[in-house]
Amino acid sequence: MINMHVEFYSGHKGQLFRLVRTPASVNGHLLFVAPLFEQANNTRHMVTKAAIASYDSGYQSIVFDHYGTGDSQGQLADASLSVWQQDIIKQLGELRQVSDKPITLSLSLSAALLLTDDMLAMVDSVQLWQPELNGKRFVQQFKRLALAKDLQKEKSNSNDTCTGSLMTIAGYTMTHSLLDELAKQVLGHISQCQADVEWLEWLAANTELTQGRQKQYDALQQASAKQIQLTTLSDEKFWLATELLVSQQLLTYLHGAFALNAQCGAEYD
């Protein structure tokens, strides 16, 4: 039986809903950072599977909802990029204070837009699942998807509405400034990285990174002191599926990575 603790954690601005899975013998810690908006809903099932995989390898995992989202306190309209980033930094700092075990930060899709130098300085490794590192493109795609859903429902009115400083897109009410902040996030805000970085990219078999993705990878590599490990997976993209989907290739990769990290940690001890 998995030892899982459900709690409300005191974040930077309010209580964060968290699921903490702690094995009897802890080899390391893993903080999962959820992507934004609909991507969070589409990845939740896969993150749960990944958390269980890490548990089986002796990793304590933490899965949480950003402030103003899910079961955490507050409203999305009260959230900001800074609040979300400070919540991540606070959790990493507390892990570092109470444990000398390695800390891994896992960011999928748009969660990579929250990454900062401060976070990178606090962890031993970073996992990037199909990372989105261009905030302007993410915001544009989010708006396009919202419009597409609106057309599919054959509504005569748009899902995009504005009231004062707030705007509603596809049912999400937020400040204009939040989207503006996200749109400004690019690789340029990362200037140094001493952690081990694992980049997982979903690609069809026998294909290579597109020119745009290669440029993003190269830019992040320039900021990294170590060689970034690029691994390609040909499974269906679970975050785009219309029903719950598990990436078996991802789980296989994670089992191997966690087992190797646990072995290296034991040898270090």
Q: How confident is the model over 159-180, as pLDDT tens digits?
A: 455 555 788 887 888 998 999 9
In angstroms, rounded to a whole number, what is the distance separating the alpha carbons of residues 69 and 238?
21
For position 154, what pLDDT does the model report?
A: 42
Structure tokens of 165?
Answer: 């400083």
95-121 pLDDT, tens digit each: 999 999 999 999 999 999 999 999 999
Cα distances (Å, whole numbers) of residue 111 to 102, 129, 134, 205 = 21, 9, 11, 26
**Domain extents in the chain:** 4-133+188-268, 135-184
Residue 239 phi, psi dihedral angles, 5° rounding = -75, -10
Cα distances (Å, whole numbers) of residue 26 to 30, 97, 193, 196, 265 = 11, 15, 25, 20, 10
Q: Both ends of the chain: CA-CA distance in Å? A: 27
H/E run at residue 250: helix 248-268
The pTM of the full predicted model, rounded to 2 decimals, is: 0.90
225-248 pLDDT, tens digit each: 889 999 999 999 999 988 888 999
34-83 pLDDT, tens digit each: 999 989 988 999 999 999 999 999 999 999 999 999 999 999 999 999 99
Asked if CATH classification 1.10.645.10 holds for the domain at 4-133+188-268, the reply, yes or no, is no
